[in-house]
Amino acid sequence: MNLTSELSKLTFDRLIDESEEMGCFVLEVDKKLIGLVHYIFHRSTWTEGNSCYLQDLFVQTDNRAKGCGKSLIEAIYAEAHKKNCSRVYWLTQETNYQARILYDQVAINTGFIQYRKNLV
């Protein structure tokens, strides 16, 4: 996927706008960014409380399998708990084996498969 600079700026502006129902946590070591996670809060027809969608999780390759991803996910859990969310969820590719090792430790694989139709 090729994102335009305009879309990147819009996303950044949304992430730092406190009135938006989304946000970001970053992980730094020695003032160097090594990981980040984006999240979005939204209503659900299945629960009374909001849901929290963990949209993006990234950790630099040489920092993977060191607890960085887990700490970013736990930051989302804490933020969702503060906002009284009923659940946190995310999607990953079936072949994302390394990440799924972590995901299987911190959450339940519900077995859902995503279908999508792009409209733009």
pLDDT category of residue 120 using cuts at 50, 70 and 90 = confident
Q: Is residue 70 pLDDT above 80, yes or no?
A: yes
pLDDT in tens, 48-58: 999 999 999 99
Mean pLDDT computed over 12-35? 94
Answer whether residue 79 is part of any domain. Answer: yes
Q: Is residue 93 part of a domain?
A: yes
CA pair distance 66, 4, nearest whole angstrom: 32
Question: Is residue 111 situated within a structural domain?
Answer: no
C-alpha–C-alpha distance, residues 111 and 106, integer Å: 15
C-alpha torsion angle, residues 112, 86, 14, 69 (rounded to 10)? -70
Overall domain count for the chain: 1
CATH number of the structural domain spanning residue 93: 3.40.630.30
- Residue 81 in any domain: the answer is yes
- Give the pLDDT band of residue 79 (cuts 50, 70, 90): very high
Q: Assess if residue 1 is contained within a domain.
A: no
Query: Is residue 16 one of the residues assigned to a domain?
Result: no
The answer to whether residue 44 sits within a structural domain is: yes
Which structural domain, as residue segments, surrounds residue 68?
Answer: 21-106
pLDDT number for residue 3: 85
